């Protein structure tokens, strides 16, 4: 149960549509269940406004399937699975009818995407095509949480005119996620153009001296543009989640 469902339940009690005992039964549900190998959090949506997410890396296909089924049994309508292995995706395709998998971003989604209720648009921009897997993790995460996403891919500083050709999208965004490897300059450039929060995502794309994303990370952390925050290397999920929180602020 998430916050919206809780509000609806309380309104039904107030109007007499639902009996107090029935509502109490729903509220008594345990906040988590010990499955031995996992303790899925059923009340996360109620506490934080966003339901439990499954981090697929390091989990067996069967564990991913069992946790997914447990979350759905407790009313979670949409389940997001990040860093999902192909083997796990194959197993879920066999067992879950409404499951979709994106092999590029390694994102799995069970259930339908919710209605878009974000206040504005989230722009996801990448420096290059090689950054798209991380960008899609961010974009799909934001969509799972009810946001409209605009994708601007391959608009890096090596050809700045490509970015400047999208000024309408940049200036109308409520949040921008700037994703880049190499020297990670995209976040600073966008931060100097936009009037909204910019979330920088350094990627591990680049040659030897990029140190698997450390160079881009340090560049973004040292951005001279105001309003730029930074998440960890390749953390598209974290950026998409944070952007969604910002986009749902009244």
> Does 172 reside within a domain?
yes
> Does 23 reside within a domain?
no
- Evaluate if residue 25 carries a pLDDT over 70: no
In a shared domain, residues 59 and 140: no
> Does 170 reside within a domain?
yes
pLDDT in tens, 120-178: 999 999 999 999 999 999 999 999 999 999 999 999 998 999 999 999 999 999 999 99
In a shared domain, residues 52 and 132: no
pTM: 0.86
pLDDT in tens, 181-211: 999 999 999 999 999 999 999 999 999 999 9
Number of domains within the chain: 2
In a shared domain, residues 147 and 101: no
Q: What is the 3-state secondary structure (H, E, C) of 112-164?
A: CCCCCCCCCEEEEEECCHHHHHHHHHHHHHHHHCCCEEEEECCCCHHHHHHHH
In a shared domain, residues 72 and 189: no
> Does 4 reside within a domain?
no
What does the alpha-carbon distance between residue 136 and residue 126 come to, in Å, rounded to a whole number? Answer: 10
Domain that holds residue 243: 121-247
Residue closest to 136 by CA, chosen among 179, 93, 169:
179
In a shared domain, residues 213 and 176: yes
In a shared domain, residues 92 and 191: no
In a shared domain, residues 125 and 237: yes
> Does 52 reside within a domain?
yes
What does the alpha-carbon distance between residue 115 and residue 78 come to, in Å, rounded to a whole number? Answer: 12
Boundary (domain end) residue, out of 62, 82, 110: 110
In a shared domain, residues 142 and 86: no
> Does 25 reside within a domain?
no
- Evaluate if residue 2 carries a pLDDT over 80: no
Boundary (domain end) residue, out of 110, 130, 145: 110
In a shared domain, residues 57 and 105: yes
In a shared domain, residues 137 and 218: yes
- Evaluate if residue 99 carries a pLDDT over 70: yes
In a shared domain, residues 53 and 126: no
CATH code where residue 151 lies: 3.40.50.1970
Q: Please enumerate in sequence order all residues whose Cβ is within 8 A of that of 22, keeping only pairs 6 or more positions apart, or say none.
A: none
In a shared domain, residues 82 and 138: no
> Does 146 reside within a domain?
yes
Boundary (domain end) residue, out of 110, 137, 165: 110
């Amino acid at each position: 149960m998430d916050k919206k469902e809780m509000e609806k339940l309380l309104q039904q009690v107030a109007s007499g549509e639902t009996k107090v005992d029935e509502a109490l039964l729903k509220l008594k549900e345990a906040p988590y269940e010990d499955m031995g190998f996992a303790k899925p959090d059923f009340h996360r949506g109620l506490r934080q406004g966003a339901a439990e997410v499954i981090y697929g890396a390091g989990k067996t296909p069967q564990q991913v399937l069992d946790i997914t089924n447990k979350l759905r049994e407790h009313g979670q309508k949409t389940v997001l699975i990040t860093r999902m292995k192909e083997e796990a995706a194959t197993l879920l395709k066999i067992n879950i009818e409404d499951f979709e998998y994106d092999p590029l971003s390694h994102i799995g989604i069970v259930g339908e995407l919710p209605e878009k209720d974000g206040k504005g648009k989230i722009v996801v921009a990448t420096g290059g095509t090689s950054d798209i897997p991380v960008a899609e993790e961010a974009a799909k995460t934001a969509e799972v949480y009810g946001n409209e996403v605009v994708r601007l891919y391959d608009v890096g500083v090596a050809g700045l005119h490509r970015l400047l050709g999208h000024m309408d999208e940049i200036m109308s965004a409520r949040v921008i996620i700037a994703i880049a490897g190499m020297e990670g300059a995209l976040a600073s450039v966008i931060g100097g153009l936009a009037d909204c929060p910019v979330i920088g995502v350094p990627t591990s794309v680049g040659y030897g001296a990029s140190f698997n994303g450390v160079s881009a990370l340090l560049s973004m952390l040292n951005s001279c543009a105001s309003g730029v925050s930074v998440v960890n290397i390749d953390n598209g999920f974290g950026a998409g989640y944070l952007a969604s929180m910002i986009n749902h602020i009244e």
